[in-house]
Amino acid sequence: MPSEFALIDRYFKRPTRHTLLGVGDDGALIAPTSGCELVISTDMLVEGTHFLADTDPEALGWKCLAVNVSDMAAMGALPRWVTLGITVPPAPTFGWLDGFSRGFFACANEFGIDLIGGDTTRGPRAFCVTILGEAEPGKALRRSGARVGDGIWISGRPGCAALGLAHVQGRIELPEPRLADCLAALHRPQPRVALGLALRSLATAAIDVSDGLLADLGHILEQSAVAARLQIPDLPAAGLERDCLLAGGDDYELLFTAAVSGPRIAALAADLQLPLTRIGEIVAAAPGELVLVDADGKDITPARRGFDHFG
Ligand code: ADP
Ligand code: MG
């Protein structure tokens, strides 16, 4: 077992790109781009709650940072710096951290983020990531901007991560190539940073889907004091696939509202090579109300919206 400081040096000290003083001193020093607003977000991952004890450490390292990068995407911000608090048991820390840090820095490198500090303690495995991003003044995307008449859009293929998890847990058996897609969504979620930046001038509100499509749309509705009517194309009629699409967590797709026309969003989708699907619209009804209709207009609103740690 290496000392705490040897461990930090070995696994978490890497050259930085845009940092004045990083890992190793009492505090980090950064110089934000002049005129930018700083966007700050923290997420915790706890063993047994957010990941299983036997999760591949490299996948976990990626995901640990990716879920925070996703918050920057949802704010329309460029992710820049991150701090990492870790609690790990004394054994088998060595090889485990090797994989974890490899996954973490793979994500950091992909999005050009500097790890600038953190804290390392012993205990049951848990991770706390704080990320800092930069937003154009007044342009950060909020949950509170949706207005009656806006279209409601979702990126990618929501529900994939939850289907992958159901497969891993042996509740279903997915055929290839669907299986590979769903496992990739579960283990290596792709934060939609480019989409978030493009949405700064297009979206009225945005959120990343971590707790389930309906649950996270609920947050936009509450904070914007509006209602929604959803008609999701190709909605599976019933069963697990439908549950995963509507209430499955862990997708990290962006859900957003926009007043602009369909063709403008379609052009953006083509540009980013990312599906963007219109799933409904903001309507004038009781704030927070969410109605889901099938192709015949029949109300099929489910009772459960998604995941809630305290629900
Ligand atoms: P202090 O005692 O001043 O809090 P620490 O001994 O906790 O300092 O940490 C030493 C240095 O290593 C600090 O710069 C801290 O930010 C960094 N650090 C500690 N743990 C991590 C980690 N898991 N990831 C990145 N940097 C870390
Ligand atoms: Mg410390």
pTM of the full structure: 0.94
Two structure tokens written together for 124: 């049951």
Cα Rg for the chain, rounded, in angstroms? 20
- d(CA 49, ligand 1 centre) in Å: 25
Phi/psi at 244 (5° precision): -65, -40
Ligand nearest to the CA of 119: 1
The per-residue pLDDT for range 202-211, each reduced to its tens digit, is 999 999 999 9
pLDDT single digits (tens) 19-44: 999 999 999 999 999 999 999 999 99
Angstrom distance (rounded) from CA 93 to CA 76? 36
13 alpha carbon, closest ligand: 1
Residues ≥6 apart with Cβ < 8 Å to 133: 38, 39, 40, 41, 72, 75, 77, 78, 79, 80
- pLDDT of 150 higher than 70: yes
Instruction: For residues 184 and 246, give the distance between their C-alpha atoms in angstroms, rounded to a whole number.
Output: 19
Distance from Cα 141 to the centre of ligand 2, integer Å? 33
pLDDT of 311 above 70: no
Query: What is the C-alpha to C-alpha distance for residues 70 and 76, in angstroms, rounded to an integer?
Result: 10
Examine the pLDDT at 192 and tell me if it is beyond 90.
Answer: yes
Check whether 303 has a pLDDT greater than 80: no
Task: Write out pLDDT tens, residues 43-73.
Answer: 999 999 988 898 999 999 999 999 999 999 9
Judged against a pLDDT cut of 70, whether residue 196 lies above it is answered with yes
Residue 9 Cβ inside 6 Å of ligand 1? The answer reads no
Ligand 1 nearest-atom number relative to CA 117? 16
| pLDDT of 298 | 85
Angle, to 10 degrees, between the axis of helix 160-168 and the axis of helix 239-247? 130
Return the SS3 of 303. coil
Q: Can you give the pLDDT at residue 159?
A: 93
Q: What is the mean pLDDT of residues 223-251?
A: 87
pLDDT of res. 184: 94
